[in-house]
């Protein structure tokens, strides 16, 4: 055992972990079963799966329970766990036209083929706190479910099919163009990267950008997406189509046969914006305006996220960095919740060596300027010219800041 | 009754990281060694430790560690810091390697923000946790551009920034993480070690590996490589000064000091490196320190004034 | 096709990687990759096979100059790595007495990403730090640069001078270049990272 109380740190951690456990269960209420969490905290778990980039609702429920309901912390646990799993297959491309649709709306048209389907949404629930839920009983749950299923007609349920896409109508009329960005048309731009297997390089191909957005933190995406709509960048899109539903996931086995491995719920947003018609020189007389889409897709039902993904996908193709939302590096480096949270919290780690190193410089600089001021006072009544930058009295009052980042 | 789930999977591989990722990190560490000071991008999968808390260091440690390694980890020079304790516990848990506080006994040392005072030898590897691997980030925020600057060895803006600090404050104001030129080619961040440690990167016997997990970069300084702190002909790099200061526990100087304050606001100095201090106090021996001209000057001054008290 | 059953993909790979890293960090330091009995196909030194087993996986590709089919099957079966043309491969397995053709085409990275370059693994007959260990024709290599304390001399038998000339040309525009590992028939390895210069003398 060393002189410094090494055991102290270990003991402190052990005690802290014990305290966490105590606070989690100290009120002696019945433990929450993760099946209950999975069933009744669906949207929290959707968020955890999306940001954790790991589709496993039961693990999401477990993670949520483990961290007392902190969604971002739970997503972190999911990411760490997923990193231990081998990448065995890449799934086949999913065509969301084949989605089993639970909700589907378009704000671009009053009516769309197949119809607007409001589905489950909190949008029109009126956010009045529901005091009846305070004493919700199992009997009430059963009564509601019985009454609800009695109203469902089996024949109607079986009649549900798939729906064509709104953007297909625009495309058929020649009003919608491809993503139309030079970087994305290049070979590198079209490369399908796996951001979990390689670090992102800039300019990042669109596949990498969309993957990063799909794992990004909802709040972060919302802040940047909102900034673009509000005026910093000017993407003000229309919801071409927003759909939530189940899609089948298949992989190819070693013999090349397609194998069904399960269904995942996803939210997909296709945001329509008017696109500029190329460079100024190309925008001469006769050039035709057209629409372009911004695309968002994430695990679970998380419409805010899918919409903001769509806005940012579009904004990042703008080709200028005049607004934060247009700037790939800015958007992608700063919206990963797991990374941002970790780095923010690392400030709690001791930094006394780093601080001492800076302190040493500042003390020397202050001493230097004091000495200089004394010398000036002794030799001449006039203060030195402001251009004497090495040691003007003004500088003495200012704390010298570090030149470079120190972390 | 709510039915239970059948089973949850929580097995993990030796050293936690899967073999595919280890191979990737190993290949990139080799590239890093072949390109001293150059930042190699890597996949940097999530660890069960938060980003910014040593994930890059852990990726390196866990990709190189074997069953026979003796592992030491320090944070701010101390084996006792909670984060060091936590990471030591994690590495031990996933590898069952021997762990030590003894700098000399370790074959693999992970560190945050310090190089041990005791000189490292050719059988040792020092792994740095790096928060911001890009030394040019303060003068250029875009990775695309800093990449180009490194590619072209176009470091003019870095020099200007150092010079501006000199003009304004009379000195290069960079504290910890002082930028260095490696092998005459790449400007590199040594991670936020104090300037005191920077000269020990030059022509060392040991291998230095750097892991920046959140930023997804690896880099290296092989042994016997030129590592020169950036300085001007008339404005020189200098290490932190502790003039006349002695450690209140060991009575000696010539090592990086911590300032400790008591409830009355009085402060005293204590040697920062916990193992070095242990050896001074408990074993009454002064371990072999690094030899560099900056430290030599400090030791010469100290020996010229042996009676000085703090 | 041989499926290596005695190779431990966790612990053998780790141990050999450490030796490769040690040799790469200290050019001129010869390490021995042993402890595992593997049965590589012809035109692949045992140490070269072990380098492949330690470092290849499905994320990277390789090129074999000689006996390409057998070596290709061997590495694909044991590492899930895939064969590729010399100009695209991440690892090139060459014979020391070969023409430097594959080497000429090897990827040497870009200025912004010089790490996207190939590793070159070259089978030679004999590596030694002393000349009296080798009989017959040999080359004397004098290495200097990062990792080398001053200068380091190595003697190599079974290596074509033209290969070294090409290697030097590949590495003229540092940081572009390739990083080489020479292996001999006694499982020794010698690394020549692109950061190092070398002078060749025939003996």
3-class DSSP assignment, residue A106: coil
Residue A27 has pLDDT above 90, yes or no: yes
Q: How far apart are CA C18 and CA C24, in angstroms?
A: 10
When mean pLDDT is compared over A288-292, A382-386, B172-176, C20-24, the highest value belongs to C20-24
Residue A390 near chain B (CB below 8 Å): yes
DSSP string, A5-25: -HHHHHHHHHHHHHHHHHHHH
**In the structure encoding, which two tokens stand for residue A35, read together?**
């099946």
Residues A55, A88 contacting (CB under 8 angstroms): no
pLDDT confidence band for B3 (50 / 70 / 90): low
Dist. CA B228–CA B230, nearest whole Å: 6
Inter-residue contact B274 to B74 (CB < 8 Å): yes
Residue B11: the pLDDT is 74
| Residue A224: predicted pLDDT | 97
**Residue A382: pLDDT over 60:** no
Q: What is the pLDDT of residue C203?
A: 64
Interface of B with C in 104-123 (CB under 8 A): 122
* B85 → closest Cβ in A13, A351, A389: A13
ipTM over 0.95: yes
Angle between helices A337-345 and A71-82 (to 10 degrees): 110
What does the pLDDT average to over B278-307? 91
pLDDT 10s digits, B101-115: 999 999 999 999 999
User: What is the average per-residue pLDDT within A53-74?
Assistant: 96
Span A115-128, average pLDDT: 92
Q: Could you tell me if B95 lies within 8 Å of chain C, comparing CB atoms?
A: no
pLDDT at site B167: 85
> A176 forms bridges with which residues in the sheet?
A291
**pLDDT over 50 at A33, yes or no:** yes
CB-closest option in B26, B67, B225 to C11 = B67
Q: Is the pLDDT assigned to residue B226 strictly greater than 80?
A: yes
Rounded to a whole number of angstroms, the CA Rg of chain C reads 16
In whole angstroms, give the CA distance from residue B201 to residue A64. Answer: 45
Instruction: Give the mean model confidence (pLDDT) for residues C11-20.
Output: 98
Peptide bond into A203 cis (omega under 30): yes
Q: How confident is the model at residue A276 (pLDDT cuts 50, 70, 90)?
A: low
Mean pLDDT, rounded, for A351-378: 87
Report angle CA B211, B214, B215 to the nearest 5 degrees: 75
Contact residues, chain B, for C17 at CB < 8 Å: 26, 64
- Across-strand partners of C142? C153, C199
Q: Is the pLDDT of residue B215 over 60?
A: yes
In chain C, residues with a C-beta closer than 8 Å to the C-beta of B13 are 10
Q: Write the pLDDT tens digit of every residue in C48-97.
A: 999 999 999 999 999 999 999 999 999 999 999 999 999 999 999 999 99
Which range among A122-126, A186-190, B49-53 shows the weakest confidence by mean pLDDT? A186-190
Best mutation target, C195, C196, C197, to test chain B (most B CBs within 10 A): C195
**Percent of chain A residues past pLDDT 70, beyond the cut:** 86
In this complex, do B214 and A339 lie within 8 Å of one another by their Cβ atoms? yes
pLDDT at B96 (0 to 100):
95
A221 pLDDT above the threshold of 90? yes
Pick C18's closest partner by Cβ from B64, B151, B221.
B64
Query: How close C166 gets to chain B, by Cα (Å)?
Result: 18
Q: How far apart are CA A152 and CA C154, in angstroms?
A: 83
Query: Do the beta carbons of residue B113 and residue B192 sit within 8 Å?
Result: yes
Beta carbons of C25 and B150 less than 8 Å apart: no
Among B8, B18, B40, B52, which would you mutate to test the A interface (most chain A Cβ atoms within 10 Å of its Cβ)? B52
Is residue B150 less than 8 Å (CB to CB) from chain C?
yes
Q: Which of A42, A44, A39, A35 is nearest to A68 (CA)?
A: A44
**Whole-angstrom distance, CA of residue C43 vs CA of residue C74:** 12
Tokens representing A281? 């020189």
pLDDT, tens digit (0-9, with 9 covering 90-100), for C165-191: 999 999 999 999 999 999 999 999 999
Residue A163 CA to residue C84 CA, distance in Å, equals 43
Q: Looking at the partner chain, which of A79, A197, A354 has a beta carbon nearest the beta carbon of B175?
A: A354
pLDDT score of A88: 83
Tokens (6 digits) for C45 = 């030194």
CB C78 within 8 Å of CB C4: yes
From CA B268, how far away is CA B245, in angstroms rounded?
Answer: 9
Higher pLDDT, B305 or C130: C130
Q: Identify which of C9, C58, C115 has the shortest CB distance to residue B38.
A: C115
- Higher pLDDT residue, A317 or B133? B133
Residues 70-129 of C with CB under 8 A from B: 90, 110-115, 117, 119
Distance CA B190, CA A303 (A): 44
CA distance B70 to chain A (A): 16
- How large a percentage of chain A has pLDDT more than 90? 56
Domain count, chain C: 1
Q: Report yes or no: C174 at the B interface, CB cutoff 8 Å.
A: yes
- Taking contacts as CB-CB distances below 8 angstroms, the residues of chain A near B3 are 35
Do residues B109 and B278 make contact, with C-beta atoms less than 8 angstroms apart? no
With CB atoms and an 8 Å threshold, state whether A354 touches B113. yes
The pLDDT of residue C3 is 87
The tokens of B54 are what? 């040593």
Instruction: Tell me whether B222 touches chain C (CB under 8 Å).
Output: yes
Q: Which residue has the tokens 């790490």?
A: C115
Cα–Cα distance measured from residue C175 to residue C145, given in angstroms and rounded to the nearest whole number: 13
N-to-C CA span, chain A: 31
The predicted pLDDT at position A40 comes to 96
- Cα separation, A312 vs A310, in Å, equals 5
Q: Give domain status of residue C58, yes or no.
A: yes
B5 pLDDT band, cuts 50/70/90, is low
Please determine, for residue A391, whether its predicted confidence score (pLDDT) is greater than 70.
no
d(CA C19, CA C32): 8
**CB contact, 8 Å: A148 with chain B?**
no
The pLDDT of residue A161: 75
Contact A84 B42 (CB under 8 A): no
| Cβ pairs A/B, distance under 8 A | 234
- Give the model's pLDDT for residue C10: 96
Q: Check whether B245 has a pLDDT greater than 50.
A: yes
Tokens 């980890």 sit on residue: B73
How many CA atoms are closer than 13 Å to the CA of A140, on its beta-carbon side? 6
Residue A396: what pLDDT? 34
Residue A395: band (very low, low, confident or very high) from pLDDT cuts 50, 70, 90? very low
Exposure of A273 in the CB half-sphere (CA atoms within 13 A): 26
Helix axes A42-52, A57-66, angle to 10 degrees: 100
Distance of CA B49 to the CA centre of its chain: 18
The answer to whether the CB atoms of A360 and B217 lie below 8 A apart is no
How far is residue A162 from each of residues A118, B280, C182, C192, measured CA to CA in Å?
15, 77, 61, 61
Whether the CB-CB separation of A37 and A63 falls below 8 Å is answered with: no
pLDDT of residue A392: 39
**pLDDT of amino acid A400:** 36
User: What is the separation, in whole angstroms, between the first and last Cα of chain C?
Assistant: 39
Range of the domain at C185: 11-125+160-195
Please return the burial class of A109, using the count of CB atoms within 10 Å of its CB with bins 0-12, 13-18 and 19+. Answer: middle
Asked whether residue C138 is domain-assigned, the answer is: no
Mean pLDDT rounded to a whole number for chain A: 85
Kindly report the CATH number assigned to the domain that includes residue C38.
3.40.50.11310
**Closest CB to C24 among B23, B33, B122:** B33
- Predicted confidence at residue A181, as pLDDT, reads 57
Phi-psi label, residue C80: left if phi above 0, alpha if psi -120 to 50, beta otherwise? left
Q: Please tell me the predicted confidence (pLDDT) of residue A177.
A: 75
Contact list in A for residue B217 (CB cut-off 8 A) is: 199
**Which of A152-161, B285-294, B297-306, C186-195 has the weakest average pLDDT?**
A152-161
The domains found in chain B, sorted by start residue, are 19-229 (3.40.50.11310), 257-301 (no CATH)
């Amino acid at each position: 055992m060393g002189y410094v109380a090494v055991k102290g740190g270990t003991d402190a951690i052990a005690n802290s972990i014990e305290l966490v456990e105590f606070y989690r269960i100290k009120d002696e209420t019945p433990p929450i079963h993760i099946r209950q969490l999975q069933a009744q905290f669906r949207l929290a778990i959707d968020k955890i799966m999306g940001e954790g980039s790991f589709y496993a609702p039961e693990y999401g429920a477990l993670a949520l329970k483990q961290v007392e309901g902190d969604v971002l912390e739970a997503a972190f646990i999911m990411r760490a766990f997923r990193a231990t799993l081998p990448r065995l297959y890449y799934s086949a491309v999913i065509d969301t036209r084949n989605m089993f649709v639970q909700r589907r709306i378009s704000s671009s048209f009053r009516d769309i083929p197949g119809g607007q389907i409001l589905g489950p949404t909190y949008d029109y629930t009126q956010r009045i706190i529901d005091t009846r839920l305070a004493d919700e009983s199992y009997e009430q749950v059963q009564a509601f479910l019985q009454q609800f299923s009695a109203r469902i007609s089996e024949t109607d349920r079986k009649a549900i099919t798939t729906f064509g896409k709104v953007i297909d109508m625009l495309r058929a009329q020649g009003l919608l163009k491809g993503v139309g960005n030079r970087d994305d048309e290049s070979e590198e731009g079209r490369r399908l990267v796996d951001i979990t297997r390689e670090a992102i390089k800039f300019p990042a191909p669109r596949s990498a950008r969309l993957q990063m957005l799909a794992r990004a933190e909802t709040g972060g995406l919302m802040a940047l997406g909102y900034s673009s709509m509000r005026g910093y960048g000017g993407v003000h899109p229309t919801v071409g189509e927003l759909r939530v539903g189940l899609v089948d996931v298949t992989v190819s086995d070693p013999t090349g046969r397609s194998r069904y491995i399960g269904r995942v719920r996803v939210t997909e947003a296709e945001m329509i914006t008017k696109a500029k018609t190329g460079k100024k020189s190309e925008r001469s007389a006769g050039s035709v305006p057209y629409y372009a889409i911004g695309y968002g897709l994430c695990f679970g039902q998380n419409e805010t996220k899918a919409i903001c993904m769509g806005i940012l996908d579009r904004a990042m193709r703008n080709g200028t960095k005049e607004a934060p939302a247009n700037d790939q590096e800015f958007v992608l480096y700063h919206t990963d919740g797991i990374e941002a949270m970790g780095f923010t919290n690392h400030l709690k780690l001791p930094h006394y060596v780093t601080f001492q190193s800076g302190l040493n410089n500042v003390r020397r600089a202050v001493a230097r300027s004091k000495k200089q001021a004394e010398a000036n006072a002794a030799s001449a009544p006039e203060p030195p010219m402001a251009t004497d930058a090495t040691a003007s009295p003004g500088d003495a009052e200012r704390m010298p800041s570090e030149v470079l980042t120190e972390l | 009754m709510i039915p239970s789930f059948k089973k949850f999977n929580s097995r993990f591989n030796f050293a936690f990281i899967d073999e595919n990722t280890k191979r990737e990190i190993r290949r990139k560490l080799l590239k890093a060694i072949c390109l001293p000071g150059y930042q190699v991008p890597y996949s940097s999968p999530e660890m069960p430790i938060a980003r910014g808390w040593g994930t890059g260091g852990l990726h390196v440690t866990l990709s190189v560690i074997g069953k026979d390694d003796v592992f030491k980890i320090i944070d701010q020079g101390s084996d006792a810091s909670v984060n060091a304790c936590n990471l030591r516990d994690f590495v031990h848990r996933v590898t069952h390697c021997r762990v030590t506080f003894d700098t000399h006994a370790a074959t693999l040392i992970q560190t945050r923000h310090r190089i041990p005072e005791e000189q490292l030898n050719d059988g040792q590897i020092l792994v740095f946790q790096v928060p911001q691997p890009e030394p040019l980030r303060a003068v250029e925020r875009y990775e695309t551009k800093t990449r180009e600057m490194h590619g072209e060895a176009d470091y003019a803006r870095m020099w200007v920034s150092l010079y501006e600090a000199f003009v304004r404050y009379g000195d290069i104001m960079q504290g910890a993480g002082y930028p260095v030129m490696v092998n005459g080619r790449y400007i590199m961040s040594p991670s936020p070690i104090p300037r005191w440690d920077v000269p020990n990167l030059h022509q060392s016997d040991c291998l230095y590996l750097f892991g920046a997990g959140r930023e997804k970069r690896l880099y290296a300084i092989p042994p016997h490589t030129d590592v020169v702190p950036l300085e001007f002909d008339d404005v020189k790099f200098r290490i932190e000064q502790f003039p006349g200061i002695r450690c209140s526990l060991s009575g000696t100087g010539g090592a990086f000091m911590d300032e400790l304050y008591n409830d009355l606001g009085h402060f005293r100095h204590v040697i920062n490196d916990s193992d070095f201090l242990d050896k001074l106090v408990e074993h009454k021996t002064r371990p072999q320190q690094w030899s560099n001209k900056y430290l030599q000057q400090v030791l010469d001054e100290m020996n010229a004034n042996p009676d000085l008290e703090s | 096709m041989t499926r290596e059953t005695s190779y431990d993909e966790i612990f053998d790979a780790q141990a050999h990687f450490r030796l490769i890293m040690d040799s790469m960090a200290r050019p001129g330091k010869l390490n021995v990759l042993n402890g595992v009995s593997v049965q590589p196909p012809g035109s692949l030194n045992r140490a070269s096979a072990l380098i492949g087993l330690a470092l290849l996986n499905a994320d990277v590709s390789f090129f074999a100059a000689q006996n390409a089919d057998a070596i290709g099957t061997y590495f694909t079966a044991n590492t899930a790595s895939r064969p590729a043309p010399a100009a695209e491969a991440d690892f090139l397995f060459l014979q020391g007495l070969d023409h430097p053709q594959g080497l000429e085409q090897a990827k040497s990275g870009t200025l912004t990403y010089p790490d996207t370059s190939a590793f070159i693994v070259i089978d030679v007959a004999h590596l030694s730090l002393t000349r009296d260990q080798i009989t017959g024709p040999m080359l004397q290599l004098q290495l200097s640069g990062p990792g080398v304390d001053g200068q380091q001399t190595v003697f190599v038998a079974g290596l074509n001078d033209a290969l070294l000339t090409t290697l030097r040309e590949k590495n003229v525009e540092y940081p572009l270049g390739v990083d080489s590992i020479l292996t001999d028939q006694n499982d020794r390895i010698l690394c020549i990272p692109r950061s190092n210069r070398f002078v060749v003398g025939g003996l």
